[in-house]
Structure formats: C-alpha cells, structure tokens
Structure 1
Amino acid sequence: MRHVIVMAGTGAIGLMAVFAVDLLNLFYISRLDDPALTAAIGFTGAVGYVQIATSIGMSIGLGAVTARQIGAGHHDRARRIASSFLLVMIVTTAVLGLGTLLFSAPILHLFGATGRAADQAGRYIRIVSPGLWLIAVGMGCSSLLRAVGDARRSMNVTLVGALASAVLDPLLIFGLHLGLEGAAVSTVLSRAFVAALGFHAVRRRDMLEWPTARHVLPDARLVGGVAMPAILTNLATPIGGLFVTHAMATFGLAAVAGQATIDRIVPVAFSFIFALTGSVGPIMSQNLGAGQLDRVHETLVASLKLVALCVAVTWLILLPAQNLVVASFSAQGTTAALIRLFCTWTIGGYVFIGMLFVANTAFNNLGFPLYSTLFNWGRATLGTIPFVWIGMRFGPCGVQVGQVLGSVVVGSWAVLSAFSVVRRLKPGRVTPGLATELPGRTAKSAMMELDELDEEQQIADDLPDRPRNRTATPA
C-alpha cells in the first residue's frame, strides 16, 4: 500500500497540475461569453483524446516491458528497448498528427461539429496536431521514469509542462487577444517543455542510448505485444466519447458545453485514479519479473481500495460545492443542469470506471493485454451505445446517466476478471513480449536463451571480416 500511494501520489500531483491547466483553459474561454468557443473546446477535446490514446497505449507498453526487464535484472536490455521504442513513438505520432491536421474538417464533422464551433475547433487542431510527437516523448519518458521507480522526476516532468501552460494561457488568450488559438499555442509550447525535461531526466537515469537499426524492429515487436492491445484499449474510450459527444450535439451547443466542462472537471477531480493506473503497472511488472506474485495481488487490492476512497472524498467535496462550480464557468440552462447532475449523482459511477482502469492496468502488465482491449471496447460499444441511446429519450441528462450506467456493468465484470487472472499467475510465467518470441518456455529459460542470442551476436560483431556494430554508449 505504501509503495502504491507513493508512486500514485507523486503522479497525481503532476497530472492534477496538467489537468487543472486544461480546466483553466476552459475557464478562460468561458469568460469570453461565446458559446461557440466553449463548444469548440469540447470538440477539440474529443479529437485530442483519440490522438493522446495512441501515445498512452505506447507508453503503457514501453513502461511494462522495460519495468519487467529491470525487475529481472536486465538493465542494459531495458535501456536498449527503451531507446528503440522511443524512436518508434516519435515517428508514429508525427505521422498521426500530420494526418489529423490534413483531415481535421471531416473528423470534426464526424463528431457533430458545425458552424463557427467547427471553424474554431479546426483552427485549434491545425496548430496543436503537428506537435503531437512532443507529448508522446513526454509520456514515454515519464513512463520510463516510473519503470525505474523515480516517482519524483516523473512528477516534475508533468509539473513543468503545467506551470508553463499556466503562465502562457492568460498571456496568449487575454494579453495578446488570441482566444482559442492562444490556448493552442500554449499547449504546443508546454508540450515542448515536457518533452525536453523528460528526455533530460531519462538520460540522467541511464535509460537511453543511440538506437541501432538491427534492434529497432525486434524491440518494437517486443513492446508492440503489449502496446498494440493497449492502444486499441485506449482508443475505445474516445470512440465511445465520440458517440456521447454526437448525442449531446443533437441537444445544442449548451449540452456540448456542459459535457466539455464535466470532461475537464473529471481528470482534475480524479487525477489520483488516473495516476494510480499509470503507476501500479510498473509495480506489478517488476514483481511479476521478480516472481513476487503475492505482491501483485496486494497491489491490485490496494489500488481498488484507493479508487473507492478517492471517489468518496471527491463526492463529499463537489456535492456541496456544485453551485460554486456552476457559477465559476458562467453555466446556465442545460449546461448548469448537467454539471449539477454530475456533482449530485453520476459522480458515484466513477468508482466502477476506476475499477475498470485498474483491471486494465493489471491485464496490460501481467500478460493479458487483449483482456483490457475486450473490456474497454465493451464499455465503448455495448456499455455506451444502447445506454446512451435510451438515455437520449430523456434529454441530455439522460445521456449522462446512460453513459455512467454502462460503466457500472463493465467495470464490475472487469475487476472480477482481474482477480481471476492474478489467481492463475504462476512463478516463471513468460511475459507477453517473451511469449511472442519464445512460446512454451519458462521466463527463466527464455531469459537464458536471449542472453545466449546476445552473446552469439556479440561474437559475430567481433569477427575481423565484419564491421563492428555494437550497442552505442548512452546518448
């Protein structure tokens, strides 16, 4: 429990700062008294979640595989894998960002954006998307820092970005009168700070070296065994959010603005839960790599207790403060009604969403990444579409209630499955990446064979008639 609290607590501070800045962005834009701009924030958030989901999935895979190698005592291999896959992350997210820029108009139309709200959202996306690779670097480096247990530096990486954004936002939005475009420029600059600090911190922990061509593809396949299911898992949430945003758009800009406000409040209010799911993964992976299966079970139980405690405390704070929240964002009509419903009732459903997050973390780090894909897509489809469709008959508040009810069903099922997975773990279980390369072998024998392969490659590199191609020294 202490280990989980320390890792998640430091992560929560950084995440809360980042999400608080996003919330401040919405606060600043709402003060411009333009409903189209507030709705545009909602649409850009929905598109941004799809982009960020890819970076999150890759960082999950990177952290899980490197943490397991570190737990097994293979630091050099962990450093090599980290360096190779960080390069893959940069290339992948750069291509994704360029694609989003080129197709921003049809993407926003798909989300239900029209008129001036679509125009403003398009401008924001065209500024932010080319710098998507910057946040991928920041997330990857933060994941590596958690993998080596450096919670303080991982926290500092996100804090610097949040501080930069907090300073730049009012200056660009109000001082230079750039409005939503100012918020976009601020986002890009803060992501650049996060990437630079994260890269520097990871180098200090000796977790980076120059990638070599012969290792990039094998290492990418190794991490991809966890990362690809994690990406598919994380894409499910924004895809489900697409349906919810589109449903809200049928009730007008006020409903979209209300949903956008809640979407900004949730990460701040539950930053500890978001940090928890990112922090306990390396703890589970290291203990799995070291064969400490009892600690894997303890980590799962401790995480669920902390989820319940976090939701209870947040509920006790927001319930009496709902009028203050409504007034802070100048919310009226439908927007105010959605905020009050969240603070009074639907906030309790986040216990089950937190349970789903913890279960997915267990699946991704214990060798069952396809389970997390199944449950997240189950939530995004069967756990969202029919519930929201029925809720639409009762207006925008019915949409919000339907979204939460679906999470209750899926979250309960997921956490029961997570305990089943932990009970089935056995000492010597092959990790996901190794299972792909060496099926049917124990973890110990797999590691031995990989060592032998490395030794054979080293001998081949040292032959007189072939050029040397050693792993480079740390960058």
Structure 2
Amino acid sequence: MGHVVTMTLTASIGLIAVFAVDALNLFYISMLGQAELAAAIGYAGTLMFFTVSVAIGLTIATGALVSRALGAGDREKAARAGGASLLCMAVIMVVLSTLAWIFIPELLGLLGARGETGKLADGFLRIVFPTTPLMAIGMCTTGILRGIGDARRAMYVTLAGGIAAAIMDPILIFGLDLGLTGAALSTLFSRVVLLLVGLHGAVIVHRLVRLPNTATFREMLRPFLTIGGPAVLTQLATPAGNAYVTAQIASFGDGAVAGWAIIGRLIPVAFGVIFALSGAVGPILGQNYGAKLYDRLYQTMRDALIFTTIYVLAIWGLLALFSGGIADLFRAQGEARELVVFFCLFASASFLFNGALFVANSAFNNLGYAFYSTILNWGRSTLGIIPFVWIGSQHFGATGVIAGWALGAVVFGVAAVALCFRVIASIESRDRHDDDLLPGPPPAAHSPFTTGKGATLG
C-alpha cells in the first residue's frame, strides 16, 4: 500500500497541476463573459482528448516494456525499449496530428459546433494540434521514468508543464489581450517545457534512452504495438463516449455545452489522483510480474481498489458540499449551472466504478491481457453510455444526459475487477505449471530492485 500511495500521489501532483491549469484556463475564458468562448473550449477539448488518449495508450506501452526489462534485470534492453518507444511515439503522433489539423472543420461539425462557436474552436485547434507530438513525447518520457520507479521525476515533467501554463495564461489571455488565442499559445509553451523536462530525466539522469538502429527498432516495434495498440484502443473509448455525450448535449444549446465543458475540467482535477493511480500501478505490476512475485500482484490490486474507494468517497462528499460555490466560480448560469450542480451532487459518485475500471485496465495492459481492457472500455463507452444517455436525454433533458453517462459505469466497473482477479489467478497457475515441467528447481528471478529476499520495488 505504501508504494501504491507513493507512486500515485507523486504522479497525481503533476497530473492534477496540468488539469488544474486547464480548469484555470476555462475560468479565465469564462471571465470574458461570452458563453460561446466556454462552449468553444468544450468542443476543442473533446477533440484534443482523442489525441491525448492515443499518447496515453502509447505511454502505457512504454512503461510496460521498460518496467518488464528492468524487472528481469536487463537494463540495456530497457534503454533500447525507451529509445524505440520515443521514436514510435513521435512518428505516430506527427501523422495523427497532421490528419486532425486537416479535418478540424469536419470533426467539429460532427460534434455539433456551429456558427461563431465553431469558428472559435477552429482557431484554437489550429494552434494547438501541431504541438501534439511535443506533448506526446514528453508523456512518453514519464512512462520511462515510472518504469524505473522514479515517480518524483515523472511528477516534475507534468508539474513543469502545468506551472508554465499557469504563468503564461493570464499574461497572454489578459495581459496581451489575446483571449482564446492566448490560451492556445499558452498550451503550446507549456508543452515545450514538458518535453524538455521529460527528456532531461529519461536521457540525461537515467540514461534509459538508446536511439535504435533499424534492426533494434524492428525488434521493439512488435511488442510496443502489441501492448500499445490495444492500450490506445482502450484509451480512445473514453473520448469516443465523451464525443457522443457532447453531441447530445449540443442539442440543448451553448449553455449546456458550457456546463459540460466545466464538468470536463472538474473531473480530472477532482479525480486526477485516480487517473494517476491507474498509471502508477502499472509499473508496480509490471516489475512484480517480471519477477514472478504473484502474491504482490494480488496485493497491489487490492490496495489500489481500497485506495480508490476511500479517495472517491472523500471527493464526492467535498463536491456535494461545495457544489453551488463551484458553479459560481465558473460563473455558470441557467442550464450550465444545473448540470454542474447535478454532477457534484450525484454523477461524481460514478467514479467509484470508473476508478475500479481504470485500475483493472492498467493490470490487463501490464500483464499481457490488453485486449480485455479494450473490450471493457469500449463496452463502457458504447453499451454503458449510448442507451443510457439517449434515454436520459429524451426524458430528462441535458441533466438526463449526465445521469445516463454516470450510470453506465456501474456494471463495467464491477465486471472489470472480477475479471482482473481471475486473470491474475490464471497467470499464476500457468507459470507455476510451466515451472513444474522444468528439470530441477525453477529459475530465480533477478531485478535491479530486488532485495536479498527477492522482493522487488513495490
């Protein structure tokens, strides 16, 4: 539990800092007094979520490969994995961001952005999308740093980006009177800082990046995509579900979209610790899986779920208590205010189950069962969202959309946890059977983090 908490809290500090700045960004925009600006941020954020989710999925693959190699005692292989992962991330994200930039109008149209709001969102994304590869490579370095267990430096990466944005936002938005354009330029600046700090930690401090030759790149590409492909598909499920919610919300006007945008900024700030938990628990599982310490796989999962439950209950209580003040902070009125208050009082409780799903997905990705996380996440974002949201919108309007989005988490969160423990049991049974077939005693596991008694970090 101590390692779970340490890895999670250090990761969450930087992560929440970034999301808090994102929320502050929306707060500054709301001070300009135009509902269209807040709605534009909502539409743009939905599209940006897709590119960020791809980067998160590939970062998961990076952390899994590096931590497994380190858990098995092969630091050189870990460095090769780190270098190949950075190169893969760069190529994939350059292609993706270029395509996204070309089709910005069509993508915004699919979400329901129209008129002046659509033009504002378009202008914002024209500046932000080209910086996506910078952000993605910086995120990839955090996978390397978490893979070696350096949660502190992984925290510095995202924290530095958040601090940079916090400084530049008021200067560009108000000081230079650039408004929404200033917010986009601030995002660009913060991503450059994030990249530089991440490369310093991974390349200079830990020397866990070896740029690959062609043969090494081909060798690493398959395991990277084997983990990263399903992880990306898993991560894309959430923005796909959110895009459907946004499209449904759009039918109720810019006020409702502005309320959904505020909720979208509240969620990562309030529950960023849970997002960090799912990222931090992966390397712990990966190292212990590489060292074949099965009891620690069970223990890590149990402790992560206990932590999730305690944290979500505490945050739900705080959101409910201060729901009115939160709506006032963002100057939400009418439909926007109703949605924000409803989320704080009721819908935020769904993260008891969303959090369980996140943790289970991290386990699947790091234990060689990434396909399960893909199926569960897409199930959550389709069967767990579309029918619930549609029924809610038909009978209860915009509030019903939020309620439907929240209710779908229950079934998939419970199913994910049950399946996860079953997978760990099957892994232990399979590996013990294989060891029994070997002549003589099973080989000892070696790890750069192994103590004299064979216990790895975490």
TM tier, smaller: over 0.9
The number of residues matched between the two structures is 437
Counterparts of 1:134 and 1:428 in 2: how far apart (Å)? 41
Match of 2:285 in 1: 284
Distance in 1 (CA, whole Å) between partners of 2:430 and 2:170 is 54
Match among 409, 412, 416 for residue 410 of structure 1: 412
State how far apart, in whole Å, the 2-side matches of 1:76 and 1:339 are.
Answer: 50
Q: Distance in 2 between matches of 1:232 and 1:218?
A: 22
The AA in structure 1 aligned to 2:66 is: T
Partner of 2:368: 367
User: Residue 2 of structure 1 aligns with which residue?
Assistant: 2
Question: What CA distance in whole angstroms lies between the structure 2 residues aligned with 1:283 and 1:427?
Answer: 20
Deviation at 1:347, TM superposition (A): 1.1
Aligned equivalents of 1:202, 1:427: Cα separation in 2: 36
Check if 1:122 corresponds to 2:122. Answer: yes
Hey, what does 2:58 align to over in structure 1?
58
Aligned-pair CA distance for 1:157: 0.8
Aligned to 2:184: 184
- Deviation, 1:273, is 0.4
Contact 1:112–1:249, Cα closer than 8 Å, also in 2: yes
For residues 10-44 of structure 1, give each alpha carbon's deviation from its aligned partner in whole angstroms, at most 9, with x where no partner exists. Answer: 00111110100000011000001101100001001
Q: Tell me which residue corresponds to 1:435.
A: none
* Match status 1:342 vs 2:355: no
Decide whether the 8 Å contact of 2:85 with 2:140 is kept in 1: no
Question: Mind listing any 5+ residue stretches in structure 2 that lack a counterpart?
Answer: 446-458
Residue 321 (structure 1) shift: 0.9
Query: Structure 1 282/262 Cα, relative in aligned 2: closer, same or farther at 3 Å?
Result: same
Percent pairwise identity: 44
TM-score by length of 2: 0.93
Q: Which runs of 4 or more aligned residues in structure 1 lie more than 3 Å from their structure 2 counterparts after TM superposition? A: 427-430
CA contact (8 A) 1:243 1:385 kept: yes
* 2:270 alignment counterpart: 269
User: 1:220 deviation in Å?
Assistant: 1.2
1:120, CA displacement in angstroms? 0.6
The whole-number CA distance in structure 2 between the counterparts of 1:139 and 1:210 is 17
Q: Distance in 1 between matches of 2:164 and 2:275?
A: 22
Shift of 1:313: 1.1
* TM-superposition CA deviations, 1:130-162 (whole Å, max 9, x none): 111111111110111011011111111111100
Q: Which residue is equivalent to 2:11?
A: 11
**1:217-257 per-position Cα deviation (integer Å, ceiling 9, x unaligned):** 22011111110000000011111111100000000011111
1:115 and 1:108 map into 2 onto residues whose CA distance is 11
Give the whole-Å Cα distance in 1 for the aligned partners of 2:341 and 2:131.
36
- One-letter code of the match for 1:126? R
Deviation at 1:429, TM superposition (A): 4.4
Aligned with 2:184: secondary structure? helix
**2:428 match: secondary structure:** coil
CA RMSD of aligned residues (A): 1.8
- Contact residue 291 and residue 428 of structure 1 kept, 8 A: no
Distance 1:323 1:427 in 2: 52
CA distance in 2 between partners of 1:415 and 1:111 (Å): 32
Alpha-carbon deviations, 1:67-92, whole Å to 9, x = none?
Answer: 01100101101101110121110111
Structure 2: distance between partners of 1:243 and 1:139: 26
Give the Cα–Cα distance (whole angstroms) in 2 for the partners of residues 31 and 278 of structure 1.
34
8 Å contact kept, 1:84–1:212:
no
After the TM superposition, which residues 434-473 of structure 1 pair with which residues of structure 2 at under 5 Å, given as runs? none
- The equivalent of 2:201 in structure 1 is 201
TM-score using structure 1 length: 0.90
Question: Matched residue of 1:73: which SS?
Answer: coil
Aligned to 1:398: 400
Q: 1:29 to 1:427 in 2, by over 3 A?
A: same
Q: CA deviation at 1:428?
A: 7.5
Mapped partners of 1:227, 1:195: distance in 2: 20
Q: Does structure 1 retain, via aligned residues, the 8 Å contact 2:57–2:235?
A: yes
Q: How is 1:371-382 mapped onto 2 (pairs within 5 angstroms)?
A: 371-382=372-383
SS in 2 for 1:210: coil
Paired amino acid for 2:4: V
Displacement of 1:210: 2.7
Q: 1:367 to 1:329 in 2, by over 3 A?
A: same
What CA distance in whole angstroms lies between the structure 2 residues aligned with 1:195 and 1:344? Answer: 38
Q: Is the 8 A contact 2:69 2:78 kept in 1?
A: yes
Contact residue 160 and residue 194 of structure 1 kept, 8 A: yes
Q: What is the one-letter code of the residue matched to 1:45? A: G
Distance 1:76 1:427, change over 3 A: farther
Q: Deviations over 1:233-286 (max 9, x none)?
A: 001111111110000000001111111100100100011101100000000000
CA distance in 2, matches of 1:384, 1:250: 17
Equivalent position SS for 2:321: coil
Kept in 2, the 8 Å contact 1:293–1:427? The answer is: no
Show the counterpart of 2:173: 173
